[in-house]
Amino acid sequence: MNSIQKEIIIGKKVEITKSSFVNEEIASSAEVKFTCCQCSHLNSVIIKPYESGFPIFQLYHENRVLSRNELLKNDMARKTSYHMLHLGEITVNDLPTLYLSTDCKNCSEKYLVIFSYGEKQPGLEILQLSGIWNYTLK
């Protein structure tokens, strides 16, 4: 799991086995499986609450990696509700939103994972994946 430092071009969104995890399902970690769009290898990403990921702001800040519009256009995140703007301009599910980069274990194709994690309401912690997209460096 890495951060992305250079500008990228978003490719195809890949199918994931499960996009939403709640309470006990994310007690220590959540495993998300996806198939590489290049070589069809089954990969997995382990997301650990409060350990995995980097703030999504790093992607769109000064358009260094992706523009804010690119994130919105590709339905990777949405504009944050007015009462939750303290979390940033764009979020997934109005929760703290993070990203990480991973590679296919077989062919090294690069993937961007975008997800949110937090307490949606008292007693309901949720990890919500927006999706996984392959990408190339610009």
* Dist CA 61 CA 2 (whole Å): 17
pLDDT of amino acid 63: 87
Beta bridge partners of 30: 47
Give the residues of the chain that fall short of pLDDT 70: none
* Dist CA 116 CA 127 (whole Å): 6
pLDDT of 3-42, one tens digit each? Answer: 999 999 999 999 998 999 999 999 899 999 999 999 999 9
Q: How many helices (H) does the chain have, and how many strands (E)?
A: 2, 10
pLDDT of amino acid 99: 97
